[in-house]
């Protein structure tokens, strides 16, 4: 967010001002207690937002580097799952298309009729049965559409 970016931009300046105020208060305290040691320069150089930010980024980078293989493996697995789900949805989508359904039903009816013809081939009564069954099948499948 914009507010967060603004806070980060002003963080170093804010930390320096706070540290300078602390040093002034500490100087006043040292006047009352001269035994209290001064803050060492090497320690004061390690205090503040820029150093903390640098250390945090180093830790985050190291953490990211160690977790990256695991994350990539998880993402690959998720991608495979989503691709499989997509293929299933594409197959289901075909059955939503009326033209595809009519073609499938037509192919099915031709197959059934061919099997009936093969079964009843050469039988005179079979011609009557075949015609009756065919009419029933056509009527039934048309009512489904």
pLDDT digits 0-9 by tens, 42-55: 566 666 666 777 78
Q: Which residues of the chain have pLDDT under 70?
A: 1, 29-30, 36-50, 117, 119-131, 134, 138, 140-145
Tokens of 56: 């945090």
Tokens of 16: 């320096």
Would you tell me the crossing angle of helices 49-94 and 2-32 to the nearest 10 degrees?
Answer: 160
DSSP string, 97-115: -HHHHHHHHHHHHHHHHHH
pLDDT in tens, 73-95: 999 999 999 999 999 988 888 87
The Cα 142–Cα 111 span in angstroms is 16
How confident is the model at residue 78, as a pLDDT?
Answer: 95
The Cα 105–Cα 118 span in angstroms is 20
Tokens of 131: 């015609």
Determine contact, residues 23/38, Cβ cutoff 8 Å: no
Cα 10 to Cα 20, 24, 32, 103, 115, distances in angstroms: 16, 21, 34, 69, 83
For the chain, give the mean pLDDT: 77
The Cα 137–Cα 112 span in angstroms is 9
How confident is the model at residue 55, as a pLDDT?
Answer: 82
């Amino acid at each position: 967010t914009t507010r967060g970016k603004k806070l980060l931009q002003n963080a170093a300046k804010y930390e320096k001002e706070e540290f300078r105020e602390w040093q002034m208060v500490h100087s006043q305290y040292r006047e009352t207690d001269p035994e209290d040691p001064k803050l060492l320069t090497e320690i004061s150089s390690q205090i503040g937002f820029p150093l903390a930010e640098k250390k945090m980024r180093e830790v985050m980078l190291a953490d990211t580097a160690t977790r990256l293989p695991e994350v990539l493996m998880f993402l690959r697995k998720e991608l495979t799952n989503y691709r499989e789900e997509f293929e299933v949805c594409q197959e289901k989508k075909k059955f939503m298309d009326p033209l595809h359904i009519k073609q499938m039903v037509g192919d099915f009816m031709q197959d059934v009729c061919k099997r009936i013809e093969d079964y009843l081939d050469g039988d005179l009564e079979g011609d009557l049965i075949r015609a009756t069954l065919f009419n029933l099948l056509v009527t039934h499948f048309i009512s489904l559409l």
